[in-house]
Amino acid sequence: MNSKIKKVVLAYSGGLDTSVILKWLQDTYDCEIVTFTADIGQGEELAPARAKAKKFGVKQIFIDDLREEFVRDFVFPMFRANAVYEGEYLLGTSIARPLIAKRLIDIARLTKADAISHGATGKGNDQVRFELGAYALMPDVKVIAPWREWDLLSREKLLAYADKHGIPVDYKKRKGGAPYSMDANLLHISYEGGVLEDPAYEPEESMWRITVSPEKAPNRAEVVELTYVKGNIIAINGKKLSPAQVLTKLNQLGGKHGIGRLDLVENRYVGMKSRGCYETPGGTIMLKAHRAMESITLDREVLSLKDDLMPRYARLVYNGYWFSPERLLLQKLIDESQAAVNGKVKVKLYKGTVMTVSRTSPNSLFDPAISTFEDDRGAYDQKDAAGFIRLNALRLRIAANLRKRAKK
């Protein structure tokens, strides 16, 4: 193996896969390992990861609380763009990866490491996201992706390797674990693999972790007021909150009302289709409310331009191009559009649904004097519409006349 590798920064969760990777890197590359564990709101105790890393002689262990940075610098900018992948997916896993890549590179520089390593498989999107992010920030970084190198390509082989090297294995993992894999952060929880690989299989109700079923949600609707400044929520029901606090609160509210479940077959960047189930309660509320806020504050053509660009932006996020020049350029345009997206939106939460019931803004472009169905006292001359319609119908009339002549 590459004798030049002296130190590797490993994205480390403390689970079976990355614990095996830690030992495999030590054995295969005979190098020092630095572990990095990110707290991005996955809701798991991170102390065991530190203990496991210490057990295998890791001296530099980084466990970073990145929740505020995650929401402020990654989730909020994405929601200012109203990004949705393939019409449904709110990109909960996708948007976490560039932050992890960024911190991996920060730590690599800090510790003077030669390489970084991750536990993403060679079939998935995450390997692309981690590595595109890393190369964008450190062009010459060496990336070690064990799943593309080793022969431990089954659960049985991973468990055998763990047993041989004294790596603790959770009893549930040894017995087969959950019938699917999970990935969680402050924006969502994803479920895929295992029994979910059959698109016809309906997941059991017990799978869902942060949302109740709509059938079991409260029978009384709840109205929530969100305050926006420059496209970002800064307060809920009049109480000012930090970005991470906003998302935490909306997750709690949405989860209570059965909001944000999604069962999707999506197209991975590497070429295959994949079935995933997602819970994104807070994000579902955010998307609905943000579009409501924009509906009264953005010019028609600005809003149309944003909608035209959104699928492109969403694909960039999904495919791992967060640090690309095109995403950064799009973000500048999007953020410029948000200067007037200020005000308050009220949404009604009820049994899996989010309905906008009120929106107000000091920057509102809605003019009641013109929009009214009552007497507008000359604010809008309805006779002007006749010429407008005839001009816009001109090409249609020309084509119709041509078809008429052709039939003669």
Based on the residue annotation, tell me whether 126 is a catalytic residue of this protein: yes
Alpha-carbon span 2 to 299, nearest angstrom: 57
Please, where are the H alpha helices in 165-218? 171-174
| Catalytic pick among 94, 103, 126, 274 | 126
Q: What phi, psi does 198 have (nearest 5°)? A: -95, 110
Residue 163's contacts (CB-CB under 8 Å, 6 or more residues apart) are 169
| Catalytic pick among 181, 295, 324, 364 | 181
Token pair for residue 385? Answer: 């519409």
Residue 112 zone, left/alpha/beta (φ > 0; ψ -120 to 50; rest): left
State the residue for tokens 């105790």.
45
Based on the residue annotation, tell me whether 163 is a catalytic residue of this protein: no
Inter-residue contact 32 to 6 (CB < 8 Å): yes
Token pair for residue 338? Answer: 């948000």
Token pair for residue 167? Answer: 């790596």
Helix (H, G, I), strand (E, B) or coil at 214: helix
Token pair for residue 322? Answer: 């967060």
Buried b (16+ CB within 10 A) or exposed e, 193-207: eeebeeeeeebeeeb
Token pair for residue 192? Answer: 């895929």
The residue type found at 393 is A
Q: What is the CA radius of gyration of the chain?
A: 26
Alpha-carbon span 210 to 113, nearest angstrom: 38
276 membership: H or E segment, kind and range: strand 273-279
32 membership: H or E segment, kind and range: strand 32-39
Burial class (CB in 10 A: 0-12, 13-18, 19+), 317: buried
Question: What is the length of the chain?
Answer: 408
Alpha-carbon span 287 to 289, nearest angstrom: 6
Catalytic positions, written as ranges: 17, 97, 126, 181
